[in-house]
Structure 1
Amino acid sequence: MRSIVDTTTVQQLDPLGTLDGRPAGIVAVVGSLVFSVVVTANRAGQIEDPFLANAALFFIAVSAVLYIVTTSPIRPPFSGGLHALIVGLLIIAFALSSASIGSGGALLTDFWGPLVIGVMCMALAPYRPIAELVTLGIVASIFTGFIGLVQSSVADVAAPPMIVVLFTMTPVLTMSLGGAAFARSLASTHKRWEARARRAARRQLDREHDSVARSVQQDRVTILNRDVVPLFTELAQRGIVSPEDRARAAQYSESIRSLMVSEVNRSWLESVVATSFGALDDGRRVQDPQRLATAMTPHQRTALRAAVLAVASGTDLIADTVRLRIEKTPTGAAITVTGSVGSNESSWRSTLAPYIAVLRVVFTGLRISYRSPSLTVRFTYDTP
């Protein structure tokens, strides 16, 4: 089993929780930008190169915009390249800000950049693996320490070089490691909760097995009482079996056999869709000729089941128009969901945003195509 520290992010384990916490991250990042602007304006008299100071603010603004855009639920999962890019832009901004002061600055007014870098590292903690958060945090703190050391050598700073290095490294190191520790705690808690929930679900399934079996048996008995028993009663009263009776018996037998074969062959996805939207007579609500739905992981099944139930219980999509098609691809399988929208675009996007966020995490390559009133959602997953 792969380690949580090595491979799993909080966003993957709890997409909806990450989505709920995203506004706080946006406030922190935007606040850091405002803080940078205020500090720069207050020390305008000490700035020797205004161009470098403005360039530093520009890089901070770019990193804030990147955070807001790339962590959006309508975007693919946040990547390691974006993580390094955003933190790298802030390091460059700190270097430019320090260079803009030249020899005219003081320690307490120059070295505000590490605070901004540290806040961004904490804001990005839910989106990347713990090992990567720790590694990039340490690397970023080393760079900020070096920049602080260089600045102290050209500015009038009456402090030992080691103190300057620690002063600049500490905010980045503590905030990045703190964010990683918090993310690890959330991931571990979620894993323990998931394990307990899975055990409880298995126990509940065992308890319900007998009742489900009795329910299925009762369904069969109902069919027999409705069709077969009247035929046998009629035959017992007449004492003669006619060709018409044989035809009726063959028809009932074929009907019951077809029903049982159909239910046995029905996949979990077909059962969920049929229960949620109602089965179609033509059997084309779900098209999965290669039985690829069975290859989904438990997380993927849970996410897709929740999305189907949400769409079925809402009014944004017209239930009779919803179709699902699963096709084989060179790398796995692709699911295409189509339907007609019965509400305005802002309404269905707002309603489906949490479910789309979850689907983007557990599946890959999710794309949305909307041309009123038709909505198409396509995503892929790996198969054995």
Structure 2
Amino acid sequence: MTRATPTPRRPRAPASASQQRLDPIGGLAAWPLAPVVALIVVTYAIVATISRMHEIQITELAAASVAVLMIAAAVLVWAARPDLAPFTRTRAVVIVALGLAAHLLAAASTWQFNGMIQDDFAPIGLGLLLLALAPFRPWKEILTLGVSSAVVVGVTALAQSPFLGIQTPPFLFAIIAMTQVLAPALASAAYSRQVVNSIHRWQTDARRAIRARTEESRGLLATEVVDQRLKNLGADVLPFLADVLERETLTAADIKRARSLAFQVRRVLVAEVDHTWLDDLIDRERLKLTERGLNPLCVIADPERRATGFDSDQRAAVGALIVALCRLKGFDPTSLVVQIDGSGEAPADTDQITQAFGHRGARPTPAADTTTIAIVTAAEEQAATQAKAQARAQAQVHAATAPRPRTTGLSAIDTITIQAGISLPPFHRRRALRPYLSVLRAVFTRVRVTSRHPLLTLEFDAERTTTKGIK
């Protein structure tokens, strides 16, 4: 009897992941949940307080309880704003702490005169606040906050049990009070866990599919790169070499022509090697602005090619922001400046891989004449550079889709600064940039926005380990 092959377990998302972190656009769509929950919490607190005036002995404490709960709701709405993403742990702790303070104040205002705990507004309001954290915080954190809050509410119910109007075992009051907090907290944690795992599985499957398709197309891509390089060489270099070998003589004009061709080919290949994804993006936007009849002047300052160290999410976020800026009404096409600098070592290049391909593509010297050797050596350098460019293309495709290895290298910070002149009122400018800032704050460590009309400056940091980058 053979044992069935076990099905490999699908990877689970990290415990610190949240819906807003893994899917910034989805977190942006979930943000209206916060003001809706805040409105329900505040309305219920006011209505419940008015309906229980006969139980309230200290009116000031009751009013303070409602006020603190309103502050907690306001903090929730503020913390969940897309332009302030991501929703940090400190904000969540502050919201829960304010909810607990409102509960203790409400309990003190009706101490010894509370008829039943089922109609207390503070535990229900606290539970709803925990429920609103589902799209923004990890499930373990929500569960920890929910259990801690439920314990405080349960202890408060036990302390009030001798004065309640219903005679029943005290632990039943504690269970009822804790359920009002624990049930929404468990629902919030379960939602966060399920959604995060679903997003993580989908992203994992998508990356696997991309890697599979890339492996299939890598050979075709390499062939296309070689063909393109051969076309470039075939236009001038190869006919010149064929003519020299056919004549079997070399003149001073031929030597001068060989040097000129070598310089031109080297310049083209070096320019292509130094070209990054950011250059391609700016070139496309510059072309679109030109097609609209504008005269764009878009400047890129990235001398260390730090843009190569950005991952796919960061590239997509930066690209979307630049495209949005170029399409905004009132955008000055001569004002866009993109600068990247930072601390730590710049992204390394793929020299070891490309050198291997370069040596493999080199050709032996077929002539013994010293002058002819110089020409053939130039052709060897061109062929080596050609193979090196091919290897760069292969390394770029592979590195862009391969899973990121875990490294223990030193940390480096790349800072990208984008400046643009936009002649829009501040309100319209903030409204247009709000969704993009939400995504930027989710994928970058720190985002700073400076607005001095009409100049808009955005600066954000990208942390990375000092591993090899891709172009």
Alignment of 1:136-215 (within 5 A): 136-213=145-222, 215=224
Q: Which amino acid aligns with 1:175?
A: P
Give the conservation status (yes or no) of the 8 Å contact 1:126–1:183: yes
Aligned equivalent of 2:337, options 323, 334, 342? 323
Aligned equivalent of 1:133, options 139, 142, 148? 142
Alignment partner, residue 463 of structure 2 = 382
How far apart in 1 are the matches of 2:251 and 2:271?
Answer: 30
SS at match of 1:383: strand
SS at match of 2:448: strand
Deviations 1:121-162, CA, capped at 9 Å, x for gaps: 010122222221111110000011111222233333333211
Per the TM alignment, residue 208 of structure 1 is displaced from its structure 2 partner at its CA by: 4.1
Give the conservation status (yes or no) of the 8 Å contact 1:292–1:333: yes
Asked if 1:92 is matched to 2:92, the reply is no
- How has the CA–CA distance of structure 1 residues 286 and 143 changed in structure 2, closer, same or farther, with 3 Å as cutoff? same
Deviations 1:319-339, CA, capped at 9 Å, x for gaps: 443222111236622111111
- How has the CA–CA distance of structure 1 residues 314 and 254 changed in structure 2, closer, same or farther, with 3 Å as cutoff? farther
Asked if 1:264 is matched to 2:264, the reply is no
Alignment partner, residue 430 of structure 2 = 349
Aligned equivalent of 1:35, options 18, 24, 44? 44
How far apart in 2 are the matches of 1:26 and 1:9?
Answer: 20
Asked if 1:112 is matched to 2:121, the reply is yes
- How has the CA–CA distance of structure 1 residues 20 and 329 changed in structure 2, closer, same or farther, with 3 Å as cutoff? same
Aligned equivalent of 2:452, options 347, 365, 371? 371
Give the conservation status (yes or no) of the 8 Å contact 1:111–1:148: no
Give the conservation status (yes or no) of the 8 Å contact 2:158–2:174: yes
Per the TM alignment, residue 191 of structure 1 is displaced from its structure 2 partner at its CA by: 0.8
How far apart in 2 are the matches of 1:253 and 1:342?
Answer: 48
Could you tell which deviates more after superposition, 19-28 or 218-227? 218-227
Give the conservation status (yes or no) of the 8 Å contact 2:281–2:319: yes
How far apart in 2 are the matches of 1:231 and 1:341?
Answer: 52
Higher helix share: 1
Alignment partner, residue 302 of structure 1 = 316
SS at match of 1:270: helix
Alignment partner, residue 102 of structure 1 = 111
Q: Point out the structure with max Rg over C-alpha.
A: 2
How far apart in 2 are the matches of 1:141 and 1:108?
Answer: 14
**What is the root-mean-square deviation of aligned Cα atoms in Å?**
3.2
Aligned equivalent of 2:301, options 273, 278, 287? 287
Give the conservation status (yes or no) of the 8 Å contact 2:137–2:192: no
Give the conservation status (yes or no) of the 8 Å contact 1:337–1:376: yes
How far apart in 2 are the matches of 1:223 and 1:191?
Answer: 44
Normalising by structure 2, we get a TM-score of 0.72
Deviations 1:223-280, CA, capped at 9 Å, x for gaps: 5677669989999xxxx9987776566444423321211111223333333334459x
Per the TM alignment, residue 217 of structure 1 is displaced from its structure 2 partner at its CA by: 5.0
Alignment partner, residue 334 of structure 1 = 415
Q: Which amino acid aligns with 2:124?
A: L
Give the conservation status (yes or no) of the 8 Å contact 2:48–2:119: no
Deviations 1:174-209, CA, capped at 9 Å, x for gaps: 111111111111111111110111122223333444
- How has the CA–CA distance of structure 1 residues 19 and 196 changed in structure 2, closer, same or farther, with 3 Å as cutoff? same
How far apart in 2 are the matches of 1:253 and 1:57?
Answer: 80
How far apart in 2 are the matches of 1:204 and 1:317?
Answer: 39
Per the TM alignment, residue 288 of structure 1 is displaced from its structure 2 partner at its CA by: 2.0
Give the conservation status (yes or no) of the 8 Å contact 1:101–1:110: no
Tell me the percent identity: 28
Per the TM alignment, residue 67 of structure 1 is displaced from its structure 2 partner at its CA by: 1.0
How far apart in 1 are the matches of 2:49 and 2:14?
Answer: 38
How far apart in 2 are the matches of 1:263 and 1:83?
Answer: 48
Could you tell which deviates more after superposition, 112-121 or 76-85? 76-85
Q: Which amino acid aligns with 2:448?
A: R
- How has the CA–CA distance of structure 1 residues 21 and 167 changed in structure 2, closer, same or farther, with 3 Å as cutoff? same
Give the conservation status (yes or no) of the 8 Å contact 2:449–2:457: yes
- How has the CA–CA distance of structure 1 residues 173 and 79 changed in structure 2, closer, same or farther, with 3 Å as cutoff? same
Deviations 1:43-84, CA, capped at 9 Å, x for gaps: 122211110010001111111111111221222522222211
Alignment partner, residue 68 of structure 2 = 59
Per the TM alignment, residue 312 of structure 1 is displaced from its structure 2 partner at its CA by: 4.4
Could you tell which deviates more after superposition, 105-114 or 128-137? 105-114
Per the TM alignment, residue 99 of structure 1 is displaced from its structure 2 partner at its CA by: 1.6
Structure 1 residues not aligned, in runs of 5+: none
Aligned residues: 379
Give the conservation status (yes or no) of the 8 Å contact 1:152–1:161: yes
Alignment of 1:41-80 (within 5 A): 41-80=50-89
SS at match of 1:382: strand
SS at match of 1:193: helix
Give the conservation status (yes or no) of the 8 Å contact 1:316–1:348: no
Per the TM alignment, residue 358 of structure 1 is displaced from its structure 2 partner at its CA by: 1.0
Per the TM alignment, residue 291 of structure 1 is displaced from its structure 2 partner at its CA by: 2.8
Give the conservation status (yes or no) of the 8 Å contact 1:76–1:365: no
Could you tell which deviates more after superposition, 245-254 or 325-334? 245-254
- How has the CA–CA distance of structure 1 residues 41 and 244 changed in structure 2, closer, same or farther, with 3 Å as cutoff? farther
Per the TM alignment, residue 114 of structure 1 is displaced from its structure 2 partner at its CA by: 1.4
